[in-house]
Structure 1
Amino acid sequence: MSDQAPVLPPRPTRSRRGLVAAVVVAVLVVAGGVAWFVTRDSSSDSPAAGPSGSAAPTVVKLGTTDIAQPHWEILKDLAAKEGIDLELVGFSEYTQPNPALADGEIDLNAFQHVLYLADHNNNTGDDLQPIGSTLIVPLPLYSEKHDTVEEFTKGEQVAIPNDSTNQARALFVLEAAGLVTFTGDPGVPTPDDVDTAASTVVVRPVEASQTAGLIGDPDIAGVVVNNNFATDAGFDLDGYVYADDPESVGAQPYINVIAARPEDVDNPVYQRIVELYHDPAVLESVVESSGGTAVIVEGYDTARLQEILATTQENLTAAG
């Protein structure tokens, strides 16, 4: 989920979340979301060989909530050259791909970030696992009243998304910007963790889709807006006051991933799809489609992504 589909902010003095800094690209997402579908050759329990010379192509059904994005066609063409028949299928809602994966209707999805996946696993008892990274999108603070965070004054309101997967990240953005202080050291903060006496601004949680529309509200000094809503509202995506650092430790739960059922994490065909996603032609199209805001996530193997997921699930559980 790219705003998912579905990208926590930098906190350089803290290591308690146990997440390692990396160069990374939410949507979800959490901005745009993607679900990957894979089917197997009916004559075998394992995927048919895909390279040239094999008896039959491997059929891979790829589902996505942003099926119109051109990078999927590029990926499809690259897969075809290796004997992988990639079929594109659309999902209309972010809530659909994970249950479909868990139920065996699909074999891969790639619409969400780690935090969304962790929240799903904790809430359902599923054990879906990331097998590859895709991108991350910084979460910005915009303002029509101020050009820098230093200009914000005591008691001014900042609107943030109120959904669980984006609210914590927005609060960390404001903490990193020096606008809020927490009463403790929360792994997944909520507005109740904000020390209002020590903070500059007052947070106002609203529906994520409403944040962009409050940019001109006279009672609102700033808005933390997901990339997709900022784009839809016609924001200058480079005109933010502050944004979290996608290379920071705190941003790691917002890395968008390709996910599979646990028994399939080492499947060579699925791993090859991850590699093809990182082909330069695909990545160039991904960044272009995001308006230049997406940052590609490189250097994460399956084991490291699984460690980050496990830590994120533990932090969510501890937060209650």
Structure 2
Amino acid sequence: MSTKKIIAALLSTALLGGLSACSGSDSKDAEGEKIRIGSTDSSKKAWQVFQDKAKEAGLPLEVVDFSDYSTPNQALDQGQLDVNQFQHLKFLASYNSSANATLTPIGSTEIVPLALFWKDHDSLDGIEGQEVVIPNDPTNQGRAINVLVQAKLLELRTPGLVTPTPADVDTDKSKVKITPVDAAQTTAAYGEGKPAIINNSFLDRAQIDPKSAVFADDPSSTEAEPYINVFVTRAEDKDNERYKKLVEIWHDQAVQDAVAEDSRGTSVPVDRPAEDLQKILDRLEADLKK
């Protein structure tokens, strides 16, 4: 090969290499690398507004959507994500305990209350002595019992349990009886006129107005703390200012308006310091180890 052809080939290779580098640069912009954040509901309006606001603040996001609830924590733990935002503190505690992990909350978002519904009633008046139907799955049963504790309808043999079971209820001191059923059956019980605790995913299917609840858990109560939804990262990244800025952006009014629209007005914003969230998480993890 002639010297001219060799030089031409080298120049062509260099040019192709430069183009290849440019084509791979979509993971960056003028403000720096994109933040990879995991979600399970990125199609919701709040996430679209959140991405736009983050980009305006110089924090472009690469949102990775997951179809299940176990993978986002694994992906974060393994360094495939920078942050995730899909879970409450109780779920995070369960993951950390089972995986021997140290994933860390850096900010809160909201609580979606679990509520008590009673057809053709707008208050708790007359509920004493009634049979209240609650979901029997591990995620909701303990929380449902605590909703009734907060409503002063149930008393526990040992106050302050994070995840009480029906066996923990002091029936002699309680004002109602509870009947655990499959969560999907709570709406049927409601339709029959029984008071029922129904989670949000079944309200829509049964066309029950979430604002018709006669009682919901108080987001500022100790019993509700495990269900605060959070931004999470690895322990070594908990002080990363870019990630912490995402928490501030989530509480931008435009994002909050979209969250309210997505949840039909049922979500309650929660803005708790990371230190408080870590204390709650530590308590939950300690309870799981007992």
Which TM-score band (shorter chain)?
Answer: 0.7 to 0.9
Query: In the alignment, which residue of structure 1 is the partner of 2:253?
Result: 280
| In the alignment, structure 1 residue 123 sits paired with structure 2 residue 95 | no
For 1:110 and 1:207, the matched residues in 2 are separated by: 28
Give the whole-Å Cα distance in 2 for the aligned partners of 1:202 and 1:301: 37
Alpha-carbon distance in structure 1 between the residues aligned to 2:80 and 2:181: 34
Given the alignment, which residue of 29, 32, 43 partners 1:68?
A: 43
Q: Report whether the alignment pairs 1:166 with 2:150.
A: no
Task: State the SS of the aligned residue for 1:98.
Answer: helix
Which string of whole-angstrom CA distances, capped at 9 and with x for unpartnered residues, describes residues 81-136 of structure 1?
A: 23333123321112221122222222211111111111222222222110111011
Within 1, Cα distance between the matches of 2:120 and 2:154?
18
Which residue does 2:165 correspond to in 1? 190
Question: Equivalents in 2 of 1:171, 1:127: separation in Å?
Answer: 29
Q: Does 1:78 align with 2:59?
A: no
Letter in 2 for 1:281: A
Match of 2:289 in 1: 317
Identify if the C-alpha distance between structure 1 residues 112 and 210 changes in structure 2 by more than 3 Å, giving closer, same or farther: farther
Q: CA, structure 1 residues 97+240, in 2 after alignment: closer, same or farther (shift >3 Å)?
A: same
Larger mean Cα displacement after TM superposition, 137-146 or 102-111: 137-146
Match of 2:123 among 133, 137, 148: 148
SS of 2:191's equivalent? coil
Counterparts of 1:301 and 1:196, CA distance in 2: 37
CA distance in 1, matches of 2:252, 2:121: 40
Equivalent residue for 1:307, pick from 272, 279, 290: 279
User: What is the rounded CA distance, in whole Å, between the counterparts of 1:270 and 1:101 in structure 2?
Assistant: 13
Alpha-carbon distance, 1:157 to partner: 2.4
Determine which of 180, 197, 202 is the counterpart of 2:154.
180
Query: Structure 2 CA distance, aligned partners of 1:210 and 1:312?
Result: 29
Equivalent positions of 1:74-113 (< 5 A) are 74-113=49-88
Q: For residues 173 and 240 of structure 1, what CA distance do their matches in structure 2 show?
A: 12
Q: Which runs of 5+ in 1 are unaligned?
A: 1-41, 43-47
Local SS of the residue matching 2:94? helix
Larger radius of gyration: 2
SS of alignment partner, residue 210 of structure 2: coil
Whether the 8 Å contact between 1:149 and 1:179 is mirrored in structure 2 is no
- Pick one of 188, 205, 223 that aligns with 1:213: 188
Q: Is the 8 A contact 1:187 1:315 kept in 2?
A: no
Report the counterpart of residue 33 of structure 2 in structure 1. 58
Aligned to 1:259: 232
Does the residue aligned with 1:174 lie in a helix, a strand or coil?
Answer: helix
Identity %: 42
- The structural deviation recorded for 1:184 is 2.3
Within 5 Å, give how 1:34-45 maps onto structure 2: none
Distance 1:206 1:107, change over 3 A: farther
CA distance in 2, matches of 1:71, 1:256: 14
- CA shift in 2, pair 1:102/1:177, >3 Å: same
Are the counterparts in 2 of residues 187 and 316 from structure 1 also a CA contact under 8 Å?
A: no
Question: Does the CA-based 8 Å contact 2:128-2:153 persist in structure 1?
Answer: no
Distance in 1 separating the partners of 2:232 and 2:276 = 13
User: Superposition RMSD on alpha carbons, in Å?
Assistant: 2.3
Deviation (angstroms), 1:303: 1.7
Q: How does 1:293-304 map to 2 (within 5 A)?
A: 293-298=266-271, 300-304=272-276
Q: TM-score, normalised by structure 2?
A: 0.82
Cα 1:193–1:242 change in 2 (3 A) is same
If each structure's helix is expressed as a fraction of its own residues, which one has the higher value? 2
What amino acid is the match of 2:281? L
Tell me by how many angstroms 1:193 deviates. Answer: 0.3
Question: Does the CA-based 8 Å contact 2:118-2:196 persist in structure 1?
Answer: yes
Contact 1:58 1:83 in 2 (8 A): no
Count of aligned pairs: 264
Measured at CA, do residues 96 and 205 of structure 1 come closer, stay the same or move farther in structure 2, by a change above 3 Å? farther
Residues 1:199 and 1:82: Cα distance change in structure 2 (over 3 Å): closer
Deviations 1:122-157 (A, max 9, x none): 222222110111011221101126543241243x32
Q: Amino acid of the residue matched to residue 247 of structure 1? A: S
C-alpha distance in 2 between matches for 1:101 and 1:212: 36
